[in-house]
Amino acid sequence: MIQLKDISKVYTLGTQEVEVLRNISLEIKPGEFLSLVGPSGSGKSTLMNILGCLDKPTRGSYFFEGVSVADLSDDQLAEIRNKKIGFVFQSFHLLPRINALQNVELPLIYAGVPRSKRKEKAREVLAAVDLADRIYHKPNELSGGQCQRVAIARALVNNPQIILADEPTGNLDTKSGNEILQIFEKLNRQGVTLVIVTHDLSIARRAHRIVTLRDGEIIKDEVRRGEREGGGMEGGWR
């Protein structure tokens, strides 16, 4: 599903060039549960942004479902982000002024889904993350764990091929962090491809595959539960 070949990313800071990623090659298959670990500054967030089509690599090629991302326009990238990728961020990144339902609706708005259908779908997904009774609450009226569940619902609402989570439990206490991970595990069992970026090894170990980055290079790519690699698709996540 996702193929990275010799990806490099160079940032220019003033006159200095910083190579954040160096010759990354990686393949992610449908249904995988992968965690990306490494110390801060190792380039995992940059890699995540490239995977999420938010950023383009300086060198190398990236194929998303066989399509070379480098050849796509900004609008086409936006469409991929909208329909095929779901993001979950450490700081939730919900819009503060609107309620949970409206936040979850957001990707559907940009997908051009009609209003009534949007509401229905957003409710459905919020119910799936156990927030059916909180849909009219604004983010500041929800706990961290609930906010992150709204964010997950938002990531799921367009039935994406892959969910990318950047330190999804970083701002949560252990208990709600655990709940979030349980949701992720459940989603993965239902067939959703998952990539979680973390620096917490105990979280990383819950994934089936751990890719370790250091100084912009993959130093370890370890499959923990061989039987799940390549993904047992058991139908949709619902």
Partner 1 sequence: MGILESIRVALEALSSNKVRSALTMLGVIIGVFAVICLIAIGEGAKAYVSKELMGIGSNLLVVTPGKAKTSGGPPISVDSAKKLTYEDAEFIARRSTAVKQVAPIVMGTGKVKYENRSRDTTVLGVTYDFQQVRNLHVEIGSFISADDVDARRKVCTLGRVVKQELFGESNPLGKMVKINDVSFRVIGIMEKKGVTFGFNIDDIVFIPVKTAQELYDTDKLFEILAAATSEKEVDEAKRQITQLLIKRHREEDFTITTQAAMLESMNSILTTLTWVLGAIAGISLVVGGIGIMNIMLVSVSERTSEIGIRKAVGAKRRDILSQFLVESITISALGGLLGMILGVGLARGLAFSFPSLPVKVSLWSIILALSFSVFVGIFFGVYPAHKASKLDPIEALRHE
- Min dist CB 55 to partner 1, Å, is 6
Q: Which residues bind partner 1 (CB under 8 A)?
A: 49, 52, 54-55, 74-75, 78-79, 81-83, 87, 89, 91, 93-95, 97-98, 106-107, 109-112, 115, 154, 158
Which is nearest to 36 in space by CA: 168, 213, 173?
213
**Under 8 Å between Cβ of 50 and 168:** no
- Min dist CB 91 to partner 1, Å, is 8
- Min dist CB 222 to partner 1, Å, is 28
Q: For 35-70, b where at least 16 C-beta lie within 10 A, e where not — what string?
A: bbbbeeebbbbbbbbbbbbebebbebebebeeeebe
Tokens 């917490």 belong to 200
SS3 content of the chain, % helix, strand, coil (to 5): 35, 30, 35
- Min dist CB 69 to partner 1, Å, is 14
- The residue (of 114 and 235) whose beta carbon lies closer to partner 1 is 114
Say which amino acid occupies 89: F
The pair of three-digit structure tokens given for residue 8, joined into one six-digit string: 């490099």
- The residue (of 67 and 233) whose beta carbon lies closer to partner 1 is 67
- Min dist CB 226 to partner 1, Å, is 34
- The residue (of 10 and 106) whose beta carbon lies closer to partner 1 is 106
